[in-house]
Structure 1
Amino acid sequence: MPNIPFDKAVLVTCGLPYANGKAHVGHLRTYIPADIYVRSLKKNSQEVTFVCGSDTHGTPIVVNAEELGITPKELVQKYHVHFDEIFKKMDVRFDAFGTTDDETNHNRTLDIVEKLIDRGYVYPKIIEIAYCPQCDRFLPDRYVSGTCPHCEEKARGDECDQGCGKHLEPGELRDPVCTICQGPAEYKEQEHFFFKLSEFRDFLLEHLENLGGTLNARNYALGWVKQELTDWCITRNLEWGVKFPGHDDLVVYVWVDAPIGYMAFTEEWAEATGGDWEKFWKGDSPIVHFIGGDIIYHHCIFWPAMLKGAGYSQPSAVVASGMLKIEDKTFSKSRGYVVWVEEDYLDHGFHPDLLRYYLASYTSHTKEVNFSWKIFQDKINTELVGVLGNFLYRNLLFAYKNFGEIPEGDMDPEVIDKIVSTTEDVIQANADYEFKKAADIAMSLASYGNSYFQSNEPWKLIKEDKEACGKVIKNCIQLAKALILLFEPMTPGSMETAWKQIGMDSDVHEETYEQATVAVISGTKLEKPKILFTKLEDDKIQEMEDISSKRVKAAMAKEAGKAEIEIEEYKDEIEYDDFAKLDIRVGKIITAEKIKKSKKLLRLEVDIGDEKPRQVVAGLAEYYKPEEMVGKTVNVLVNLKPVKLCGVESQGMLLAADAGERVSLLTTDKDMGPGSCIR
């Protein structure tokens, strides 16, 4: 596919992280290659703007917020901050990182929807919507599950996620079930609004034939467009989201306002910097989308058709990554096959550059990546430590010990030719979205450097001809300079350190590839170098594998209905008289309510056989809803000294079994009246 022209500014975007969960390695499969691409374009003197943001609307956000007892806005703000921090820690540097709930995105979404309405591309239609009689609510998207009408596999309301992968319109699911109460749903008629996607078939065929990026995106989308395109329902029954014009009871579908976020974030970048957002979205400056392979349909079919219908520019390229496996198993958070970026990687002291290099260099961008701690260890130790790190350290340490500065000497034409050809090949590989190829080519220059150093034997030459030795070392430092520039997009933090070690006082992130052949300056003082990449030891990798194994076992146990728990050490023995001091009685919960000042505490009134119920404060709000507590028979320690919790006095304590993430109240296996003693 055609590369992006070098004479125009480029806008690069990344698929938006969904703001209802933590960042995992699968997320970085998209963001790190995109960051490498942007850094490489800048190193080739191209003007680039890099934007992204949090995807904050849709039913999963609402469902998750309801389960946690917080508002959708509170939920998305928490994870928006989380992703922003993770990206910065991983050296993924956006020029703008917003949210789809920003006012800018609301306004731009309304602008586009109204344009589509005015141009006759949106129309109303009475359709059947899944409705839950038990919950008394309509069920959009992930509030409903059922059977896919196309492949008969289990599916959610908007997508056959476990079968054919086809987008599903409201009302298409067979045998609908409410995901909230798990009861059967029914279909009711309601007016919704549709986008005339079917009218854009000819446009999409031409657009996709000329679309740049990776072939997996283009070919997958062409396959769908060549079949029959159906119109697309773009409204949902939710309160959270962008209100559909003139209908406060409807919001636009999340896959309408989410990609419009790209445009809104560009506007926010322009407002902050004085830039021009219209040169991308109303002009001919290229737009490159980096996305995961699971959202090709939306970015290559829905999105360009919407832009065309509303009179905006279409994307120039869509770069779709392959999916991720964990230890050669299909990625699955619910089954424990996941590596969390923060708690499993950064919190264990691993440098961001190691993971950046692994994800970029493991395989072709469009193929499936397997994250394995053993393979990770081998790749880092063999390549970053054994080849690149070895050349940089041994060369600079020799120069420091024997010269203290960059020595005099002419540049070897063979060395310069090697730098020039390698740089050209790396630039082209990155432009072709072949990041593994770029990494391999750059690493070959480090291998060449090791061979050059070894074959010239400077440790012997220094004793025989210091001037000749100086020339060899100067050429090695020139190779080091080129390597630092070539590896900066992949390992920016380490290369920043290496840049200073060769005596450079400029910002390596701002330097261009052209500097690779600009001769290093003799006489530049050198400091004692530090090792850039340290070997990953077996015991640390074993520790990480144990963490992963434990997570998988816990998930399997949970799926099987068993609790995988850490057994606490037994407490010291006591006499019977000690136990007899505890007055434990059967109680029945009469009322339950949340305590406003706490997310964990419930205020309960418990009948323990006295004339008046006993007030008890229990830390169970994370495990039980107040309405679930009422009527339960429980065991209560009634002679515990009263204490105040969040200003509310507690006159006892409920007994419960604690298995970490699971808590279960203790009760009796027969109907025992309130006040019955526990012996």
Structure 2
Amino acid sequence: MSGTPKLVTCGLPYTNGLCHIGHLRTYVPADCYVRHLRRAGEDVLFVCGSDNHGTPIVVSAEEAGTTPRALSEKYHDHFKQTFEKMGVIFDHFGMTDNTTNHERTQSIINRLIDRGYVYSEIINQSYCTSCERFLPDRYVEGTCPHCGKHARGDECDQGCGRHLEPGEILDPVCTVCRTKAETRQQEHYFFKLSTFREYLLDYLKDLNGTINAKNYAIGWVENELRDWCITRTLDWGVKFPGNQELVVYVWVDAPIGYISFTEEWADAHNDDWKRYWCGEGEVTHFIGSDIIYHHCIFWPALLHAAGYGTPDAVVASGMLKVEDQKFSKSRGYVVWANEDYLDVGLPSDYLRYYLLSYTSHTKELNFSWKAYQERVNNELVNTLGNFMYRTIYFAEAKLGGIPSTPASPEILLEIRKARESVDSAFRSFEFKLAVDGIMGLAGFGNNYIQKNAPWKLMKTDFAAAESAIADCLQIVKALALMLEPVLPDAAAKCWAMLGYESPIADHHLDECDTPLSGVTLQKAEMLFAKLEDEQYAVLEKTFNGRVEAAKKKQEMKEEKKPMVSMDEFAQMDLRIGKVLSAEPIKGSKKLLKIQVDIGSETRQVVSGIAPFYAPDALTGSLVVMITNLEPATIFGVESRGMILAAGDDAALLMPNREIEPGTKIR
């Protein structure tokens, strides 16, 4: 335990959609971490809030015929209530559109301006002549200038994943009226991010948290660090100081929300927010891996420039699959937190356990109803619940209460070893390892009670039976305290069965090995119920129905695509190519630089297939490529053509027999 105040935050949920288990992959581990630190006696503040600004909310509000504020309040309440149902309890849950955040954001921007870190520049920006407005972020889509893939105005979400500044996107089209946009000039403001390259490299070396966040950020800083446009042309948002026609970019005011939410909590509790943000406290951010760039590069540079303290740790979760498929709301591969889970009566503890125990926090998590059923039935019911119930039942019903015999030294040692390993795992953000340690102690208890068989011993050696149950009760007590961060509801029920009247949240982990005294055991009840096959079948049917409906919707959408004439098809020069070599592009996880023989010459192509193919395995392969695309510079590498692939897993199109490179496809 340290005397340093700790602040833990979660990435802010965006208020234009419903909560799904992809969100919970971040929030449940953060809540678990906070609960454990508090059981260990740490001073921890846990804050979060909703992200209310940006073009997607404006677009969604326009489509719904409401205001951005009203839409934000609706989803703010939805997320707050869903988190509470899942046992994710924040000390404060604010809104970035609250006055506190507007004022704090403008204060920080003014400080950056005064310190010379913000400058104005006239830039080219997409403008829709039909809507008669500039097109920021999600109001425009087109082609990524780096990889050539379809992209949103602020991010290449279909290709290389790079952040896009206003005016960078190629072939811009208005997302509202589908009019081809034109380029016009407008004044915007930039943060001198490029000046912080050396600072960020030093800062990232000492950053705690998960290695995926650290390494990803270092790769970006080492390769490219450009100044950052921090304004947008919108009416909705925090007004930029000195220019009321612009608002602050959402990725500036959203993280500043962490500070303003701390302020709001401090005002309500007569405390000082500066304890956490001006050097004294330790700040830990829990985020999804898709926003590492913002939290490990933009955010610490901005804080440092403004004279605030910087985060001590960034904890980034791995991606999510659903039933072995890439998470996708449009394709139906999604599990909604309320509709699919809480509203059908499934316990929050079960889902918390699955999310925490399935795999390492930084690795890809696959959710399936079958795996969920197996973990609930085999681990929670058969191992953990069975041991707790048998122990308390036997002590209360057969022995009349807690034996006067203290727990044996061997059992106390086993508990202390488990507690130390679990504490170390939690503090290293290894949640699966922590849960494994707790369940290991439960398994030990199960074996111990089975081996000693007190129901037999009491017939021949009553004292030995009491001693065995005393040992088992001590293990149950330790399990309840260690499990509270993972299974808060079940732990609280177990604590009450042990006879404690004060909430388990008021008790310290030091009590794991202190005797049960001054309490009276209550009637034992099963803490967990099996997920029966009939219930599993209903859950699986609902999921499959959603996937099928999404598939049909996509098929109908594809049927509506315009027909292509032979003349239009003939304009594409499709040829067979032979891969001569392939190599990764430094700083990118998706891109390969590939040399392709197309008969008359060798072409260099950049392709986003690195997640699916090892470079050496591609050498010698025959592929299909378009050779008459306009050259594009992708991640600083020229690409002259495109290799064709199908599906989300990039299955390469290949001829079914040997054929000469350069052969034209007709």
2:130 to 122, 134, 144: 134
- Conserved in 2, the CA contact under 8 Å of 1:23 and 1:340? yes
**1:558 is aligned to 2:553:** yes
RMSD: 1.1
Counterpart position of 2:599: none
Q: What is the distance in 2 between the residues matched to 1:271 and 1:418?
A: 45
1:26 to 6, 13, 22: 22
**1:544 is aligned to 2:539:** yes
- Conserved in 2, the CA contact under 8 Å of 1:214 and 1:366? yes
- Structure 1 counterpart of 2:77, one-letter code: V
- Conserved in 1, the CA contact under 8 Å of 2:406 and 2:515? no
2:459 to 460, 463, 469: 463
Shift of 1:410: 2.6
Q: Secondary structure at the match of 2:355?
A: helix
Q: Secondary structure at the match of 1:467?
A: helix
Q: Secondary structure at the match of 2:7?
A: strand
Residues paired across the two proteins, number? 558
Map 1:273-284; keep pairs closer than 5 Å: 273-284=269-280
**1:220 is aligned to 2:213:** no
Note the alpha carbon deviations across 1:282-323, whole angstroms, 9 max, x for none: 123110000000000000000001101111000000000001
Counterpart position of 1:89: 85
Q: What is the distance in 1 between the residues matched to 2:521 and 2:91?
A: 34
Q: Secondary structure at the match of 1:295?
A: helix
Unaligned runs of 5+ in 2: 559-666
Shift of 1:560: 1.5
Shift of 1:462: 1.2
Map 1:152-551; keep pairs closer than 5 Å: 152-521=148-517, 524-551=519-546
Map 1:120-131; keep pairs closer than 5 Å: 120-131=116-127
Shift of 1:198: 0.5
Q: Secondary structure at the match of 2:106?
A: helix
Q: What is the distance in 2 between the residues matched to 1:97 and 1:45?
A: 23
Percent identity between the aligned chains? 57
Note the alpha carbon deviations across 1:395-429, whole angstroms, 9 max, x for none: 11111221231112132111000000000000000
- Conserved in 2, the CA contact under 8 Å of 1:361 and 1:436? yes
- Structure 2 counterpart of 1:294, one-letter code: D
Counterpart position of 1:627: none
Q: What is the distance in 2 between the residues matched to 1:325 and 1:561?
A: 25
Q: Secondary structure at the match of 1:493?
A: helix
- Structure 2 counterpart of 1:397, one-letter code: Y
Q: Structure 2 length normalisation: TM-score?
A: 0.83
- Conserved in 1, the CA contact under 8 Å of 2:240 and 2:248? yes
- Structure 2 counterpart of 1:86, one-letter code: T
- Structure 2 counterpart of 1:226, one-letter code: E
Q: What is the distance in 2 between the residues matched to 1:509 and 1:239?
A: 45
- Conserved in 2, the CA contact under 8 Å of 1:404 and 1:527? no
Q: Secondary structure at the match of 1:226?
A: helix
Q: What is the distance in 1 between the residues matched to 2:557 and 2:326?
A: 23
Q: What is the distance in 1 between the residues matched to 2:351 and 2:259?
A: 30
Q: What is the distance in 1 between the residues matched to 2:506 and 2:314?
A: 26
Note the alpha carbon deviations across 1:465-505, whole angstroms, 9 max, x for none: 22221111111110000000111000001110000111112
Shift of 1:524: 3.8
Counterpart position of 2:661: none
Q: Secondary structure at the match of 2:506?
A: coil
Q: What is the distance in 1 between the residues matched to 2:335 and 2:143?
A: 31
Q: Structure 1 length normalisation: TM-score?
A: 0.81
- Conserved in 2, the CA contact under 8 Å of 1:408 and 1:467? no
- Structure 1 counterpart of 2:196, one-letter code: F
- Conserved in 2, the CA contact under 8 Å of 1:237 and 1:249? yes
Distance of aligned partners of 1:121 and 1:562 in 2 relative to their CA distance in 1, 3 Å threshold: closer
Q: What is the distance in 2 between the residues matched to 1:437 and 1:330?
A: 25
- Structure 1 counterpart of 2:10, one-letter code: C
1:58 to 54, 66, 71: 54
**1:108 is aligned to 2:123:** no
Q: Secondary structure at the match of 1:343?
A: helix
Q: What is the distance in 2 between the residues matched to 1:344 and 1:391?
A: 30
Q: What is the distance in 1 between the residues matched to 2:141 and 2:555?
A: 22
- Structure 2 counterpart of 1:102, one-letter code: N
Q: Secondary structure at the match of 2:504?
A: coil
Distance of aligned partners of 1:562 and 1:198 in 2 relative to their CA distance in 1, 3 Å threshold: closer
- Conserved in 2, the CA contact under 8 Å of 1:15 and 1:292? yes
- Structure 2 counterpart of 1:556, one-letter code: K
**1:144 is aligned to 2:140:** yes
Shift of 1:562: 7.0
